[in-house]
């Protein structure tokens, strides 16, 4: 298969995606994952009864392959036990779609990761986990770059025009700021250590409508650069992985 060729199944699931939407309720578990490099974001919602996935929905902000893989994995998981669904791999998804171009295989991984995240959160609910974190840990480099891209408060957002800006979840004010900045900046990323923005679904919808990228269950560890902010080191709390993002500014 050529790197740009899509199977009929991929095209079908892209044009006619199954199980699109959201599920709501106290008994719903959500898995949210994102690929900061390509910008794809995915959410999978599951409803579990008697250890079986009775209902499943997805939302994604991504390419056609992301839509197709999310659609397929919901079909594969529906009706299966939690243990069976947890074993679904990106290879399973790709094979069921009759293959994916190599450059799009990360989409199948994204779908599988979102499903596993949803199952993980379901298990956490069952075991009554500790309350979600509401505060960010101390960030290395804040004092060093206080005059070079680190802001505690921004009076004039126009000074951040065309900048790559990271905004930490501090409640409604930070949500409003992110939505305003997205109008003048090419890339605004909103980071929260929780599974929900300030524990408020309306805040999330405002950010999504403004097309602000959200990184859930993430923390900023360090600000990196020479004289000004150049990169931000991020800790993915869900996967316990550390990676870096290019950035020009961070609003604490």
- pTM assigned to the model: 0.52
- DSSP-assigned states of every residue in 164-199: EEEEE--SHHHHHHHHHHHTT-SEEEEE-SSSSGGG
Question: What are the pLDDT digits (tens) for 158-181?
Answer: 889 999 999 998 888 899 999 999
Domain range for 182 is 150-251
* Pairwise CA distance, residues 252 & 238, whole Å: 22
* Pairwise CA distance, residues 21 & 86, whole Å: 21
**Where would I find the H helices in 46-159?**
64-77, 82-86, 90-96, 105-126
- Catalytic hit among 20, 23, 38, 198: 38
Q: Residue 242: how many CB atoms within 10 A of its CB? A: 12
pLDDT at 133 over 60: no
Instruction: Note the pLDDT of residue 130.
Output: 43
- Domain tally, the chain: 2
Q: Phi/psi of residue 113, each to 5°?
A: -65, -40
Q: Has 38 been annotated as catalytic?
A: yes
pLDDT at 36 over 70: no
Residue 137 is assigned to a structural domain of this protein:
no
Query: In 3-state terms, the chain is what percent helix, strand and coil (to 5)?
Result: 35, 25, 40
Instruction: Note the pLDDT of residue 147.
Output: 80
Q: Residue 46: which pLDDT band, with cuts at 50, 70 and 90?
A: very high
Q: Has 107 been annotated as catalytic?
A: yes
Residue 134 is assigned to a structural domain of this protein:
no
Give the CATH number for residue 39: 3.90.1010.10
Return mean pLDDT, the chain: 82
Regarding whether 208 and 168 lie in a shared domain, the answer is: yes
Residue 167 is assigned to a structural domain of this protein:
yes
Q: Give every CB contact of residue 219 below 8 A, 6+ residues apart in sequence.
A: 136, 137, 191, 193, 234, 235, 237
Question: What are the pLDDT digits (tens) for 69-119?
Answer: 889 899 999 999 998 998 888 788 888 877 665 555 555 567 888 898 899
Which 3 state secondary structure label does DSSP give 20?
Answer: strand
Give the CATH number for residue 171: 3.50.50.60
> What token pair was written down for 183?
């109008």
* Pairwise CA distance, residues 50 & 29, whole Å: 15
* Pairwise CA distance, residues 90 & 77, whole Å: 13
Residue 30: its H or E element: strand 28-34
Instruction: Note the pLDDT of residue 134.
Output: 44
Q: Residue 229: which pLDDT band, with cuts at 50, 70 and 90?
A: very high
More confidently predicted of 222 and 96: 222
**How far does Cα 155 stand from its chain's mean position?**
29
Q: Residue 136: which pLDDT band, with cuts at 50, 70 and 90?
A: low
Regarding whether 58 and 22 lie in a shared domain, the answer is: yes
- Catalytic hit among 42, 107, 115, 165: 107
Residue 2 is assigned to a structural domain of this protein:
no
Regarding whether 188 and 245 lie in a shared domain, the answer is: yes
> What token pair was written down for 111?
């779908």
Regarding whether 107 and 70 lie in a shared domain, the answer is: yes
Residue 91 is assigned to a structural domain of this protein:
yes
164 forms beta bridges with 187
Residue whose C-alpha is closest to residue 34's, from 252, 241, 247, 249: 241
Residue whose C-alpha is closest to residue 172's, from 139, 140, 205: 205
């Amino acid at each position: 298969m050529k790197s740009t060729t899509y199977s009929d199944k991929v095209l079908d699931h892209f044009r006619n995606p199954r199980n699109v939407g959201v599920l709501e309720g106290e008994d719903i578990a959500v898995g949210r994952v994102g690929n900061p490099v390509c910008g794809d974001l995915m959410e999978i919602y599951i409803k579990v009864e008697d250890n079986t996935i009775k209902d499943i929905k997805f939302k994604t902000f991504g390419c056609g392959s992301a839509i197709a893989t999310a659609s397929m994995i919901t079909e594969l998981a529906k009706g299966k036990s939690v243990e069976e669904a947890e074993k679904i791999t990106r290879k399973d998804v790709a094979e069921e779609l009759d293959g994916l171009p190599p450059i799009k295989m990360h989409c199948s991984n994204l779908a599988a990761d979102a499903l596993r995240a949803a199952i993980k959160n379901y298990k956490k609910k069952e075991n009554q986990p500790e309350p979600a974190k509401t505060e960010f840990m101390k960030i290395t480099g804040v004092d060093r770059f206080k005059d070079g891209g680190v802001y505690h408060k921004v009076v004039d957002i126009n000074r951040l025009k065309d900048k790559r800006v990271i905004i930490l979840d501090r409640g409604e004010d930070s949500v409003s700021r992110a939505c305003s900045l997205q109008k003048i900046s090419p890339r605004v990323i909103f980071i929260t250590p929780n599974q929900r923005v300030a524990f408020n679904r309306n805040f999330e919808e405002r950010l999504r409508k403004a097309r602000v990228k959200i990184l859930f269950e993430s923390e900023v560890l360090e600000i990196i650069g020479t004289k000004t902010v150049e990169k931000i080191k991020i800790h993915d709390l869900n996967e316990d992985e550390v990676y870096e993002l290019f950035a020009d500014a961070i609003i604490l």
